């Protein structure tokens, strides 16, 4: 057994196991905050957890069945159907979960396909081939062909998994009403990227057309991530915010926003949080005093004014009028 193959095997397994452990800690134990969006579906926490677990196992079973069908002889069509499955999974999860959870679970579903490919297909087939060689038999070529198909899928799925696993740091992606479409474009975007590098590394060409295709798809991601955002008019100056926290505190609407934040955010973002299950303020962000709010003005604007990323799953029922007030205050500070 080649040493590098053994290394990649354990790399894949430990990545999936540690990721699944984190998914349970964040999205199952903290499901009321991060998993279920009650404005989309009135579900109990256990139901959301069941959907979460099922999305990983059922998705793999569907994918595996497709690969074992006659479609294996038509790899391009199989890749198209895999893309359709991924988009359908993202859309379906978005009908129940928060945008943050949808993105993460879509990444976990994709990662499950990749690791299961290694565990159930690639490694067993490799063992059969090695055993035949050791016994002096000619290996059946079908085992290499099957493993190569799954390895190709893993090759093309690596980049979108990285994006989806990091997406919770980008509210413009996961909190957008088009988040599932953004995920779909990311899956499409990696196709020309991978094609370019695979072709270059194989020494079979230099497909520079992939640069244009990738750029156009990336522009689509940017447009979708900003389309429909409620700016409530542009500020008189387009320059970036240069004022200090004092400027934010003196801007018109600050007192109103401070009251909103106290009522909707400070139960978690406090020096001693009193929201059940939260012991320290998430990411160390404090929103209790006027000074706290002034220092975190841009973050509050991005996560609770410009997008619906916060409060998570809107558990404190922040109203559209509250978000509009935050946007007005931030705009006034920049004028």
- Helices assigned H by DSSP within the chain: 3-23, 31-34, 45-67, 75-94, 99-116, 123-134, 141-166, 171-174, 179-202, 209-226, 245-250, 254-264, 290-295, 297-300, 320-334
- Min mean pLDDT across 36-40, 49-53, 241-245, 317-321 is at 241-245
59 or 246: which leads in pLDDT? 59
pLDDT score at 8: 83
* pTM of the complete model: 0.86
pLDDT digits 0-9 by tens, 9-66:
899 999 999 999 999 999 999 998 999 998 899 999 999 999 999 999 999 999 999 9
- Confidence label for 234 from pLDDT (cuts 50, 70 and 90): very low
pLDDT score at 149: 96
Q: How far is CA 40 from CA 35, 105, 117, 201, 314, in A?
A: 11, 17, 33, 46, 11
pLDDT score at 173: 93
pLDDT digits 0-9 by tens, 177-214:
899 999 999 999 999 999 999 999 999 999 999 999 99
Residue 90 in this model has a pLDDT that exceeds 60: yes
Residue 242 in this model has a pLDDT that exceeds 70: no
Look up residue 97 and give its DSSP letter.
B
Of 101-115, 123-137, 230-244, 275-289, where does the model show the most confidence?
101-115
């Amino acid at each position: 057994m080649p040493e590098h193959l053994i290394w990649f095997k354990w790399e894949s397994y430990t990545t999936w196991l540690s990721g699944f452990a984190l998914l349970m800690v964040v999205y199952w134990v903290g499901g009321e905050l991060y998993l279920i969006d009650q404005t989309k579906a009135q579900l109990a926490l256990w139901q959301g957890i069941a959907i979460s677990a099922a999305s990983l196992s059922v998705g793999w079973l569907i994918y595996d069945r497709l690969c074992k069908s006659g479609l294996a002889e038509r790899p391009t069509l199989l890749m198209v159907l895999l893309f359709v499955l991924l988009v359908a999974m993202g859309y379906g999860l978005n009908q129940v979960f928060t945008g943050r959870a949808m993105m993460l679970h879509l990444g976990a579903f994709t990662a499950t396909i990749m690791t299961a490919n290694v565990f159930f297909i690639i490694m067993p087939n490799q063992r059969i081939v090695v055993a035949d060689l050791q016994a002096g038999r000619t290996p059946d070529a079908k085992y290499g062909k099957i493993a190569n198909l799954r390895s190709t899928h893993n090759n093309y799925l690596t980049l979108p998994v990285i994006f989806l696993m990091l997406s919770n740091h980008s509210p413009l992606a996961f909190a957008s009403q088009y988040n599932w479409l953004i995920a779909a474009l990311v899956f499409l975007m990696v196709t020309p990227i991978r094609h370019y590098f695979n072709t270059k590394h194989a020494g079979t060409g230099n497909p520079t057309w992939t640069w244009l295709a990738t750029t156009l798809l990336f522009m689509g991601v940017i447009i979708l991530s900003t389309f429909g955002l409620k700016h409530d008019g542009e500020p008189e100056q387009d320059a970036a915010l240069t004022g200090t926290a004092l400027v934010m505190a003196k801007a018109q609407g600050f007192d109103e926003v401070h009251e909103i934040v106290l009522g909707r955010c400070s139960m978690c973002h406090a020096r001693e949080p009193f929201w059940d299950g939260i012991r320290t303020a998430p990411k160390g962000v404090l929103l209790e005093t006027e000074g706290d709010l002034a220092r975190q003005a841009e973050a509050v604007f991005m996560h609770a004014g410009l997008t619906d990323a916060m409060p998570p799953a809107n558990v404190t029922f922040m109203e559209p009028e509250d978000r509009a007030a935050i946007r007005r205050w931030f705009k006034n500070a920049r004028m």
